[in-house]
């Protein structure tokens, strides 16, 4: 099962050009959904207006070289290693979900375009990675769904309650689950294949209604956030003061009145304990 390119076997029943056409259609749906999402939410307009506003309160300008360094840091930290999550469970679950999805999609495309029939044997590693990707996605996704997402872990809502915002995670989970069951049942055209295709069509066709497009927007937002720290505009937030610094104490002479001569660094209050009081 793990070594079989089920799409090549399927070519006896469904022409490879239909499968390739389906993939191209899904790519177009993702592009269309993302553009519609941007137009509807005016997110691109907001993003650029906000960036321009931030520039006005900048205390220094960020040069081209520094911007390249910032983009590299975003790629390494926020994009490739999900560094925005400070909760390690959430980070690990996101890493599994994200890398599982990427491996699953890339190997599906390789199998359908490079090895469309059994006449061109598929290297065993490709279907193996396809199964691994689907499994990683399922493990990270079910972990998130049952235990990590804020509705369940902090707000105390039951795992089976869902709303439109859950369309993304649920269609991801359905796609990986039915793909694995379909493969386990030996591939071919059966009810699991129909469910696999249905759920992947909802995943890629539902971009406008789901959180799918965050994977394109988040890197841009992370880049902008780092630029506002580098140029000193800090989204209008005050600097991180060191309360023991005599300069800061001169600026705010009432600090010792409230906090003593050597005020302790109490860190971010938001990190004091887990949110579980809803
Ligand atoms: C194949 C790519 C990706 C997949 C499958 C994926 C999957 C997910 C899922 C399932 C969630 C939880 C959504 C929910 O609350 O229902 C999520 C949230 C999040 N993702 Fe991703 N992600 C991907 C790429 C990225 C990238 C590239 C970034 C950042 C550069 C990113 C940053 C985030 C952040 C910050 C959140 C939490 C905030 C939020 O819910 O809006 N993701 N992702």
267 inside domain:
yes
Tell me which of 96, 145, 206, 215 to substitute to probe ligand 1's pocket, judged by most ligand atoms within 8 Å of the beta carbon: 215
CA distance 231 to 26: 40
Return the pLDDT at 151: 87
Kindly state if the Cβ of 135 falls inside 6 Å of ligand 1.
no
- Asked if the structure places residue 194 within a domain, the reply is yes
- pLDDT over 70, % of the chain: 99
Q: Note whether 105 and 191 are same-domain residues.
A: yes
Atom of ligand 1 nearest to the CA of 105: 1
Atom of ligand 1 nearest to the CA of 211: 13
Give the number of the atom of ligand 1 that is nearest the alpha carbon of residue 150: 15
Say yes or no to pLDDT of 258 above 90.
no
Residues 226 and 245 both lie in one domain: no
Q: Let me know if residue 276 belongs to a domain.
A: no
- Evaluate whether residue 196 is within a structural domain: yes
Among 219, 236, 230, 232, CA closest to 64: 230
Place of tokens 């056409």: 21
The pLDDT score that the predictor gives to residue 46 is 87
My answer on whether 165 and 250 are in the same domain is no
167 inside domain: yes
271 pLDDT more than 80: no
Q: Is residue 277 a part of any domain in this protein?
A: no
Asked if residue 90 is part of any domain, the answer here is yes
225 and 262 belong to one structural domain: no
Q: How far is CA 77 from CA 13, 92, 219, 239, in A?
A: 44, 14, 10, 23
Number of domains in the chain: 2
Question: Are 158 and 266 within one domain?
Answer: no
* pLDDT higher than 70, residue 278: no
Residues contacting residue 25 through CB under 8 Å, at least 6 positions apart: none
Would you say residue 83 has pLDDT above 90?
A: yes
* Mean pLDDT value of segment 173-184: 98
Q: Which domain holds residue 53?
A: 6-230
Please state, rounded to an integer, the average pLDDT across all residues of the chain.
93
Both 179 and 253 in one domain: the answer is no
Does the structure show a pLDDT above 90 at 263?
A: no
Share of the chain above pLDDT 90, in %: 71
Is the same domain home to 191 and 221?
yes
Q: Following CA atoms 40, 22, 93, 227 in sequence, which dihedral angle do they give, to the nearest 10 degrees?
A: -40
Q: What is the residue with the minimal CA distance to atom 43 of ligand 1? A: 94
Q: Clarify whether residues 247 and 209 are in a common domain.
A: no
Are residues 228 and 54 in contact, defined by beta-carbon separation less than 8 angstroms?
yes
What's the pLDDT tens digit per position in 20-52? 999 999 999 999 999 999 999 888 888 889 888
Ligand 1 pocket check for 222: Cβ under 6 Å: yes
Predicted pLDDT at 41: 87
Alpha helical stretches, state H, the chain: 6-10, 16-41, 43-56, 64-74, 88-114, 125-143, 150-153, 167-184, 191-205, 214-230, 246-251, 255-259
| pTM above threshold 0.95 | no
Any atom of ligand 1 within 6 Å of the Cβ of 169: yes
DSSP states of 161-173: ---GGGHHHHHHH
At residue 227 the predicted structure's pLDDT band, cuts being 50, 70 and 90, is very high
Is there a contact between 215 and 204 (Cβ–Cβ < 8 Å)? no
- Domain co-membership, 211 together with 245: no
Query: Which of 40-49, 91-100, 161-170, 201-210 shows the lowest per-residue confidence on average (mean pLDDT)?
Result: 40-49
- Do residues 262 and 88 make contact, with C-beta atoms less than 8 angstroms apart? no
Do 38 and 76 lie in one domain? The reply is yes
pLDDT, residue 265, reads: 78
């Amino acid at each position: 099962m793990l070594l079989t390119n089920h799409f090549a076997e399927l070519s006896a029943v469904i022409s490879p050009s239909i499968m390739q056409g389906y993939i191209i259609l899904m790519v177009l749906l993702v592009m269309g959904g993302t553009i519609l999402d941007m137009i509807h939410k005016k997110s691109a307009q907001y993003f650029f207006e906000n960036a321009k506003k931030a520039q006005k309160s900048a205390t220094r300008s960020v040069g081209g070289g520094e911007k390249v360094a910032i983009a590299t840091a975003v790629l390494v930290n926020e994009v490739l290693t999900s560094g925005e999550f400070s909760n390690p469970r959430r980070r690990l679950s996101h890493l599994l979900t994200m890398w599982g999805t990427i491996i699953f999609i890339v190997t599906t495309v390789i199998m359908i375009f490079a090895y469309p029939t059994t006449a061109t044997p598929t290297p065993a590693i490709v279907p193996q990675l396809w199964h691994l990707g689907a499994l990683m996605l399922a493990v990270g996704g079910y972990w998130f769904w049952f235990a990590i997402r804020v509705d369940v872990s902090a707000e105390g809502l039951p795992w089976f309650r869902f709303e439109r915002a859950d369309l993304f995670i649920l269609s991801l989970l359905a796609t990986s689950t039915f793909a694995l069951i379909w493969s386990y049942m030996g591939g071919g055209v059966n009810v699991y294949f129909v469910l696999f295709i249905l759920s992947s069509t909802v995943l890629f066709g539902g971009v406008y209604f789901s959180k799918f497009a965050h994977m394109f927007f988040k890197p841009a937002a992370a880049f902008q956030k780092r630029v506002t720290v580098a140029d000193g505009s800090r989204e209008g937030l005050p600097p991180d003061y060191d309360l023991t610094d005599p300069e800061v104490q001169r600026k705010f002479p009432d600090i010792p009145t409230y906090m003593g001569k050597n005020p302790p660094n109490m860190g971010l209050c938001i990190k004091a304990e887990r949110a579980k009081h809803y």
